[in-house]
Structure 1
Amino acid sequence: MNAPAVEVPRPPLSVAVVTETYPPEVNGVAMTVGRLVQGLRARGHRVQVIRPRQPGEEASLVADGDATLGGLPLPGYPGLRFGLPAKGKLLRAWRQERPDVVHLVTEGPLGWSALAAARRLGIPATSGFHTNFDRYSIHYGFGILRPAVAAYLRTFHRRTLATLAPTVALAAALAGEGIPGVKVVGRGVDTALFDPQRRDGALRASWGVAEGGLAVLSVGRVAAEKNLPLTLKAFAAIRAQRPDARLVVVGDGPLRRSLEAAHPDHHFAGVRVGEDLAAHYASGDLFLFPSLTETFGNVTLEALASGLPTVAYRSAAAAELIRDGEHGVTVNPGDEAAFVAAAVGVATDAAGRQRLAQAARAKALACSWDQVVTDFETVLRQASGGAAGAYAAALGSASSLPMV
């Protein structure tokens, strides 16, 4: 008889993660990267995070071996910063202590310079496609630059061994644009944190929701790209049928002040994190998410885990996680009339909301962060084996691009 195969432990990786957003910043990308880094470190890998330093940030917030570099405020988002080019610093650091692989989270000046340094040293590099910056340009008065922004993003990701996309649809779109090595690495959710059991009657009362009333939630950046006018339109239609309804907006952003002034009857909860955020989700009755700029939309998965019935466009996470009429309600992207009708339909159907809530929770329970970290680790290991000649060969399709 043949002896059973013995699995040989694989050595830990040394990974440099370059990102322009990271906890304690509050956004989907920061949360995702924080989870991935935490997961890799828990498995024994050495991970160095390289990012811009936030104003007033104390050194105690930076983990041992991590690096913070110079940055500037992101226009329209004063709480976020983009990193300045640091190719020289990274070349010196990586020559002294060479990582097995560099993972690039964002495509800004810091990310581009890190990509240049990795290519110069022959270090395999992977990237993540987290934000549709080309779509954002429309909402900030720079729509004329959308083709240029899209071209820049394509150029950036064509120069890495693998580009990670959170959904099958986005992966197919990126591959169709000529980006090589596209891999699907999804998102997970902490179902112990986001749990319907955190529903809080006192919190609902603080929102001004009467006993038996309807709490309609909007969670995310209070910004133009989130399509908040449609949220307001849908809520107005709901209130015409349910006068006891109350709109609760969770989050902050450049539009918050103007919306608060224009809608004093709505409750603006500001930024909420951890158990506080989870209680807000669980204490709602209906979640409206009309954004069309998401690559994924972590809030969708958090709402599902919280047993919160969701109405969304059939796009990004909602398209892959929500079976229409079973886990929530989805409508064709851009069909505003259908979105409003769906929102009113769910708002006026108490039994339907209960059914959707139970199915949503069951769906989210299958979305494990552990599996996401495993998928991410697999991509990094594959890339780390692509150094030297194999790395150059893999980038052959980008050989005509100018070197940086």
Structure 2
Amino acid sequence: MRLLIATDAWAPQVNGVVRSLEHMAAAGTALGIETVFLTHRDFASVPLPGYPEIRLSCATRGAVARRWGDLRPTHVHIATEGTVGYATRRHCLAQGRPFTTSYHTRFPEYLAARAPVPESWSYAWLRRFHGAANGTMVSTPSLERDLTGRGFTNLMRWTRGVDTDLFRPDAAGADPLAGLPRPIFLFVGRLAVEKNIAAFLKLDLPGSKVMVGDGPDRARLAALAPDAHFLGTRTGAALAAVYAASDVFVFPSLTDTFGIVLLEALACGVPVAAYPVTGPLDVIGGTDAGVLDTDLRRAALAALAIPRERCRREALRYTWAESARQFFGNIALAHDRPSRTVSLGSALDPRRARPSNPGFRSNGG
């Protein structure tokens, strides 16, 4: 298999989509699968207003067609619904090539938070975009139920993982948050209006609030909470150290489809406080590794009593190996539907392999 992944989300962006795709490429190599990417770097692009780290590509179907001969893919996965994804979709449809897609981001809610665009209009466009695919991958059961109710079809489950060697309770070493009043309530993510971060910063909590990440809403949020500590973007070991030095991870988002940061916090032994919505419901619900409550302050305070070893134990149930098995298995299954010419064997067939992650559900049975 030579898999082409078309994505508008790519470095230097730091987000769950980029991290997931990077892990899939690495896992594919171990499985004998070659992964090539089609991103904004392959076309002329301009920075997205308000998000300079995000590039708007000038990709067209013709430009994609010109790159196709060099890429020579046997399988195609379209990861995002931006200009790169749309141009690749058009080329696949024109050539009669099967492809899969994935639903990472609740764009209707994000757009509605910034402009007077009805969510129903955006969902209608997304239904059409993904409806042409042989399969659309979603990360959680609650997201699958929501999209099914909105008329999406051919949905396939693709969970996420966490690097438990990097993210671990003893990652702090020399405490990067030493000197801050405790308890420490942590947020990690893009500082943008759709993340609902103000709901966290407005909470009356003891100790300290620590913010890791950057984005277009940073200045407003810093003015809203002058006592909060904004550390900027952290990655790798530096990020793991901040997690491990914290007491509670607060996840105020109402629109994330999963939240890899939830797993990173748990792997470092940090309990989660969040609203009972898609993402937290699937990762935290029923695990006793966090508290979900419509009152986020109550959830944050209650999470302080959760043992760190319980959180770590829950994180160990999520692996990037299992995530890759689902991802490549879904691609093989979906591409096999029209022609019956593609087979990677039972090791990658989601109908046959036994899940090690509780979020898995067979897509083919």
* Bigger mean CA offset, 69-78 vs 371-380: 69-78
Whether the 8 Å contact between 2:27 and 2:321 is mirrored in structure 1 is: yes
Q: For 2:296 and 2:215, how far apart are their aligned partners in 1? A: 24
1:169 match: 142
Judged with a 3 Å threshold, the aligned counterparts in structure 2 of structure 1 residues 107 and 342 are, in CA distance, closer, same or farther, namely same
AA aligned opposite 1:277: L
**2: distance between equivalents of 1:192 and 1:319?**
25
2:323 aligned counterpart, secondary structure: helix
1:346 aligns with 2:303: yes
State which of 128, 133, 136 in structure 1 corresponds to 2:102.
128
Aligned counterpart, 2:21: 33
Is 1:117 paired with 2:86?
no
Partner Cα distance (2:261, 2:92) in 1? 33
Deviations 1:108-128 (A, max 9, x none): 122111001011112211000
Q: Does 1:105 align with 2:64?
A: no
Q: Deviations over 1:58-102 (max 9, x none)?
A: xxxxxxxxxx22222223311111322321122233356642221
User: Alpha carbons of 1:268 and 1:209: their partners in 2 closer, same or farther (altered >3 Å)?
Assistant: same
C-alpha distance in 2 between matches for 1:382 and 1:186: 16
Shift of 1:201: 4.8
- Taking the aligned partners of 2:309 and 2:340, their CA distance within structure 1 comes to 52
Evaluate the alpha carbon distance shift between residue 139 and residue 25 of structure 1 in structure 2; reply closer, same or farther with a 3 A threshold.
same
**CA contact under 8 A between 1:23 and 1:31: conserved in structure 2?**
no
Alignment check: 8 A CA contact 2:8 2:83 kept: no
Q: Residue 15 of structure 1 contacts residue 46 of structure 1 at CA under 8 Å; is this kept in 2? A: yes
Q: Verify the 8 A CA contact 1:227 1:290 in the aligned structure 2.
A: yes
1:157-306 maps to which residues of 2 (within 5 A)? Answer: 157-205=130-178, 208-210=179-181, 213-234=182-203, 237-239=204-206, 245-306=207-268
Shift of 1:180: 2.3
Structure 2 letter corresponding to 1:233: K
> 1:186-223 CA distances to partner (integer Å, 9 max, x unpaired)?
00000111100113453122xx415xx21110111111
- What is the Cα deviation at residue 388 of structure 1? 5.6
Distance in 1 (alpha carbons) for counterparts of 2:155 and 2:245: 38
> Which secondary structure does the structure 2 equivalent of 1:15 belong to?
strand
SS, match of residue 78 in structure 1: strand
Distance in 1 separating the partners of 2:199 and 2:332: 43
The residue that corresponds to 2:276 in the other structure is 314
Deviates more, 1:24-33 or 1:371-380: 24-33
Moved more, 369-378 or 262-271: 262-271
Hey, what's the Cα distance between the residues in 2 that align with 1:97 and 1:305?
37
CA distance in 1, matches of 2:146, 2:174: 44
- Cα RMSD, aligned residues only: 2.1
Q: Percent identity?
A: 34
Q: Is the 8 A contact 1:122 1:387 kept in 2?
A: no
Higher helix share: 1
- 2:152 is paired with a residue whose SS is coil
Aligned to 1:383: 334
Partner deviation per Cα, 1:102-147 (whole Å, 9 max, x = no partner): 100110122111001011112211000000000001221x133432
2:297 maps to a residue whose letter is V
TM superposition shift of 1:324: 5.1
Match 2:321 to one of 370, 374, 378: 370
Tell me if structure 1 keeps the 8 A contact 2:211–2:229.
Answer: yes
Distance 1:361 1:344 in 2: 19
Write the distance in 1 (CA, Å) between the matches of 2:175 and 2:72: 53
Partner of 1:78: 52
Q: State the SS of the aligned residue for 2:231.
A: strand
Shift of the 215–152 alpha-carbon distance from structure 1 to 2, 3 Å rule, reads same
Change (3 A) 1:99 1:325: closer
Residues 20/325 of structure 1: CA separation in 2 closer, same or farther (3 Å cut): closer
The 2-side partners of 1:97 and 1:73 are apart by 26
Aligned to 1:252, the other structure's residue is in SS state coil
The one-letter code sitting in structure 1 at the alignment partner of 2:186 is: L
Q: Distance in 1 between matches of 2:341 and 2:122?
A: 30
C-alpha deviation, 1:342, in angstroms = 2.1
**Counterpart check, 1:358 vs 2:309:** yes
The CA distance in 2 between the partners of 1:259 and 1:109, in whole Å, is 30
Distance of 1:246 and 1:190 partners within structure 2 = 27
Please tell me whether the aligned partners of residues 100 and 124 of structure 1 are also in contact (alpha carbons under 8 angstroms): no
Name the residue aligned to 2:353. none
Q: C-alpha separation between the residues in 2 aligned to 1:32 and 1:96?
A: 25
The unaligned stretches of length 5 or more in structure 2 are: 343-365
Size of the aligned set, in residue pairs, is: 342
Deviations 1:242-264 (Å, cap 9, x if unpaired)? xxx11110000111123224433
**2:290 — aligned with what?**
328
- Report the CA distance shift for 1:296/1:370 in structure 2 as closer, same or farther (over 3 A): same
**1:236-281, Cα deviation, whole Å (9 max, x unpaired):** x213xxxxx1111000011112322443322100000000001010
- TM-score between both structures, scaled by the size of structure 1: 0.80
Q: Say which of 18, 27, 38 aligns to 1:50.
A: 38
Contact 1:296–1:317 (CA<8 Å) still a contact in 2?
yes
Distance 1:249 1:256, change over 3 A: same
